Chains A and B, each alone.
Chain A
Amino acid sequence: MRIETNEANDLDIKAQQQFSGAQLLIKLLERQGITHIAGIPGGANLPMYDALTDSKITHVLARHEQGAGFIALGMARTSGQAQVCFASSGPGASNLVTAVADAKLDSVPLIAITGQVPQAMMGTDAFQEIDTFGLMLPITKHNWIVRSAEELLEIIPKAFEIALSGRPGPVSIDIPKDVQNQLINIKQLPQPGKRITNPDFDHSLVSSMLTKIKQAQRPILMIGGGIVYADATQAMRTFAESLDIPAVQTFMGLGVLPDDHPLALGMLGMHGAPYTNLVLEECDLLIGMGVRFDDRATGKVAEFCPSAQIIHVDIDHSEIGKITNPVLAIQADIGELLEIANQLLEPCKRPLWRQRVDQMKQHNPLVLEGDNDLFRPYGAIKTVATLVDQSANITTDVGQHQMWVAQAYPFTRPRQWISSGGLGTMGFGLPAAIGMALAEPQRKVICFSGDGSFMMNIQELATMAELGLDVKVVILNNDHLGLVRQQQTLFYNKNLSAVKFQQTVDFANTAISMGVSGLDLGRSNYPLDDLKHALNTPGPWVINLPICETEMVFPMVAPGAANRDMIYGETA
């Protein structure tokens, strides 16, 4: 999570130097180690783009500001470093809002920098003027309007510090055009902003935690995105293995334990495996590590882990006690806490509990129906997973395909998987995949999508083509809004309302029209061979894979129901 500065000794400019606000902004971003900015220019940020041509920062020209936001977000989630997106005022800024909100709910250090009309025109309903400050306020950790070029010297480093410190999150900075043009003489540039030290915590609480774990007969670890963001995966694995505690993972925590790890119980909650949710019914101590007890994970809170005491460790004070009443709560950086715990703990074995958990796993398995058929959801995902190696990074859009991937893809490492968890933004997948590929160009990116989601940011195919990235979009296409269809089927008496697309899209040819290779497996005589060829040919591809609209994600816990009350599919 550290920001590297490549111009650390550039602190003192010997002679006083004149900058415009925009030039100063770019200079400060360079000093923060920013190498890429995704964005779109417009009237109110023209000076920033003028200054950008003198910089070694690479600009990624998105086709929609939401795409720009998600490209930066994808880079941030892959690298753990703060990343920047640019937009102009008015519609530019409002188009960014969804990406910023996504970053807020999934705790991503995204820095959104928008142009604003000149200060003299603010409040006059000027052309492309909106209250960007007001729009961004409830969806950022903090946000600013910059009132003078001089304020940039304080705000830019502070923005990075806030975005990266504690629980990460987005910030936004609105810069009126006159501030961008204002000339300022500067002798000294500020130190780049970086993550500040974590909160202190009472180390004796770690001993209390270990004592409680020792006393427990049936403990379960609940591993969340906090482990990923704290880069604490190794410490977490050591902790779980030393104390022999089986672990459930949240949607955000997938990959912390490899899929085939003996202690891994997969994802809990609404679409968790039967044994995962049932083990939680029996556990007597739940240790939540870097989790926020989201409703999709807990189900009906009053009936979540009914026989368990809860220990909660999180860096965000306000998460503790928000949903559950833990018997022991520690506000701490999970990595620091685990380091201490791993030194203090006495390793132990829990043969009886492990045996019971294995028994439940055997009797209540996750049935991946059709996993040997390429044209069924689990089969498609499993086939792709076997055709690419574990070095591939994975993104998804939002819907059934997202849950099928979360259930079935064999993740082996943190940050291998990024997906829109909290906000659930359809249209996330493609631009986030572009961001992932920019952050780790040595890795192939697979973006699983659906035909509904993919249409929501399809314009970024042109961006991807320009960059020539090794991204493979696999569209599980059922000509429907599948997860809505599923809920209407299960909970609205099969009254299907507005879920079928009457006009379908030829995604392979659409991709080709935007400079991306396209493959339609529905028209292929040798689908497996063609899929293998597409996945293994470097460069951007869109692969359309037709599936049946009656496919469902099972098990499913009805919204508001207890996790034990899972709805199972009819087995074929």
Chain B
Amino acid sequence: MTATNQTLLKLTVNNHPGVLSHICGLFARRAYNLEGVMVRPMINCTENTSRMWLLVNEDERLQQVIKQTEKLVDVINVEQHDFKDSVFEQTEQFFLSPK
């Protein structure tokens, strides 16, 4: 079901209005499709920050788009992760097509 070349980006970002727009806008204007987005404020953290998981197809432009993401002022950190055991793998049941 999930293509093998999918990868995850784990972002730590400031939590205020507009941050999601900055990130989604960056991916959209660089024609990089987001296959999944999961974001919530960090629960055990006193800083006003959010954790954002982005599911993307891995192609040769990925490193460039990561660098561009790192440049956004409200992005504190970007890491790359595997799909396996990820929040997207664990929530696949919510994304099934109706029979």
Contacts and interface: CB of A to CB of B under 8 A. Distances in A.
A212 B46 CA distance: 49
A-B residue pairs, 8 tightest by C-beta = A318-B67, A142-B73, A138-B29, A318-B68, A137-B25, A138-B25, A317-B67, A322-B64
B18 A321 contact: no
Contacts of B25: 137-138
B17 interface: yes
B63 interface: yes
A123 interface: no
Interface in A308-331: 316-318, 321-322
Interface string B40-72: 000000000000000000000001100110111
A47 to B, nearest CB: 23
Contacts of B29: 138
B68 A145 contact: no
Contacts of B18: 133, 137, 143-145
Nearest to B74: A142
Contacts of A141: 71, 73
Given A141-B73, A142-B73, A162-B73, A134 B21 contact: yes
B22 A318 contact: no
Nearest to A316: B71
Nearest to A317: B67
A134 B20 CA distance: 12
Contacts of B26: 138
Contacts of B17: 145
A537 B25 CA distance: 50
B64 A318 contact: yes
A381 to B, nearest CB: 37
Interface string A119-147: 00000000000000110011001111100
14 contacts: A133-B18, A134-B21, A138-B26, A141-B73, A142-B22, A142-B73, A142-B74, A162-B73, A316-B71, A317-B67, A318-B67, A318-B70, A318-B71, A322-B64
Given A138-B25, A138-B29, A317 B64 contact: no
B64 A321 contact: yes
Interface string B9-49: 00000000110011001100100000000000000000000
A322 B71 CA distance: 14
Nearest to B61: A322
A444 B15 CA distance: 49
A568 B18 CA distance: 50
Interface residues of B, number: 16
A135 to B, nearest CB: 11
Contacts of B72: 142
A414 B35 CA distance: 46
A321 B64 CA distance: 8
Contacts of B70: 317-318
A36 to B, nearest CB: 26
A332 to B, nearest CB: 16
A476 B23 CA distance: 44
Contacts of B64: 318, 321-322
A138 B22 CA distance: 8
B11 to A, nearest CB: 16
A138 B21 CA distance: 10
A141 B71 CA distance: 9
Contacts of A316: 71
A142 B73 CA distance: 7
A165 to B, nearest CB: 10
Contacts of A133: 18, 21
Contacts of A134: 21
Contacts of B71: 141, 316-318
Contacts of A162: 73
Given A138-B25, A141-B71, 10 more contacts: A137-B18, A137-B21, A137-B22, A137-B25, A142-B73, A145-B17, A145-B18, A317-B67, A317-B70, A318-B64
B20 to A, nearest CB: 11
A378 B51 CA distance: 58
Nearest to B71: A318
Contacts of B22: 137, 142
A61 B13 CA distance: 39
A316 B68 CA distance: 10
Interface string A92-107: 0000000000000000
Contacts of A138: 25-26, 29
Contacts of A143: 18
Contacts of A144: 18
